[in-house]
Amino acid sequence: MRIIISGGGTGGHIFPAVAIANELRRRHPEAEILFVGANGRMEMTRVPEAGYNIVGLDIAGLQRRLTPRNLLFPVKVFRSVRKAGKLIREFRPDAVVGVGGYASAPVLLAATSRAIPSLIQEQNSYAGLVNKLLARRVSRICVAYEGMEKFFPKDKLVLTGNPVRTEIADGSRAEALQHFGLDPAKKTLLVVGGSLGARTLNLATAAALPRLREAGVQLLWQTGKLFYPEAQQLAAPYSADGLQALEFIKRMDLAYAAADVVVSRAGALSVSELCLTGKASILVPSPNVAEDHQTKNALALVGKGAAVLITDEHAADRLYDETLRLLADPERRAQLSARVRELARPQATEDIVDELLRLIKK
């Protein structure tokens, strides 16, 4: 069996893609899996770290403002489609999976023009532009939210949920407290702004450090690469009180296990992990994403009483008032936890691979 998985750009695309590959490899150890990404994007390092081969295309998105780079866009698309076509001819895949991001478009175009079975995995509650444009060409569309027929042909939709590493929910609290050097008698707050960090969350958290110490709250603060040097300096005086700035948290299973409350952006992967781990959360959607899809992701939880929403513009004033209230209210935390857990789809990866294998057999 030979499979191409294309797309990337952010952890929200890359981690589901790797989860799908891992499940394929678990069932079919002999399968050959090739990733196709965009040169210069994070998939070009993250995918090899996960043990898979990846080929890069020179593709990038259109800038929202008029720039010289936009003049090169048609040239890059043409070259990427041509290179993708060559990859398809040489690798001869039995099926192609697109997870969103720049690189998925040329590969899916090349595959569908050759009648190769193809599947899109849409993570968000508001469909991405590439996936919407390719929806009528592909064989199957796996989605994580209800009501996606407003973007895609209904007869191609399968509600599977998002592929999440199921081991993310297997962390031991005792091991987590030991791993991070935390006090079991104190409440722990986890702040994550996605794999690249989030400036709004970082600034609000930096300003709240004295309040957190005063409240006796411990902090695991994933800052991202850019803000980390500043955050490390700011958090240093509070380290004895369990307030930690971390550039990137590799053991997210333990971070979730330690957390009593999570403050997070509302990317599709983050939302799916919160559902699976059953964590009480405050979501601060990023305003810097296409079609404001993170707000729509957050509202899908808030509408079911499964999370709290604070807008990005109000985060500086309101985020830590709400966070400290929630940390002090065990009944409300338990209610949010129970409701978000009801939305989890732990079999999502298996269901997506089932659909893919059905397409190949058909």
**Dihedral over Cα of 238, 240, 243, 247: its sign:** positive
**Dihedral over Cα of 109, 110, 113, 114: its sign:** negative
From residue 73, give the alpha-carbon distance in Å to each of 28, 55, 67.
Answer: 38, 20, 11
Beta-strand pair 140-143/243-246: unpaired
Q: Does the annotation list 195 as a binding residue?
A: yes
Token reading at 262: 């999570």
Query: What distance in Å separates the CA atoms of residue 83 and residue 252, rounded to the nearest whole number?
Result: 36
Token reading at 316: 């500086």
Q: Does the annotation list 159 as a binding residue?
A: no
Beta-strand pair 140-143/157-159: parallel
Q: Does the annotation list 271 as a binding residue?
A: yes
The position carrying tokens 């850019």 is 226
Q: Which amino acid is at 203?
A: L
From residue 176, give the alpha-carbon distance in Å to each of 164, 238, 244, 288.
Answer: 20, 20, 14, 33
Count of CA atoms in the C-beta half-sphere (13 A) of 65: 1
Query: What distance in Å separates the CA atoms of residue 157 and residue 117, rounded to the nearest whole number?
Result: 15
Q: Does the annotation list 137 as a binding residue?
A: no
Token reading at 328: 């002090």
Q: Does the annotation list 272 as a binding residue?
A: yes
Q: Contact at 8 Å (CB) between 195 and 181?
A: no
Q: Does the annotation list 270 as a binding residue?
A: yes
The position carrying tokens 């005063």 is 214
- State whether residue 145 is helix, strand or coil: coil
Q: Does the annotation list 20 as a binding residue?
A: no
Q: Does the annotation list 6 as a binding residue?
A: no
From residue 140, give the alpha-carbon distance in Å to each of 127, 183, 358.
Answer: 14, 48, 10
Q: Does the annotation list 12 as a binding residue?
A: yes
Q: Does the annotation list 141 as a binding residue?
A: no
Q: Which residues are annotated as a binding site for UDP-N-acetyl-alpha-D-glucosamine?
A: 10-12, 124, 165, 195, 249, 268-273, 294
Q: Which residues are annotated as a binding site?
A: 10-12, 124, 165, 195, 249, 268-273, 294
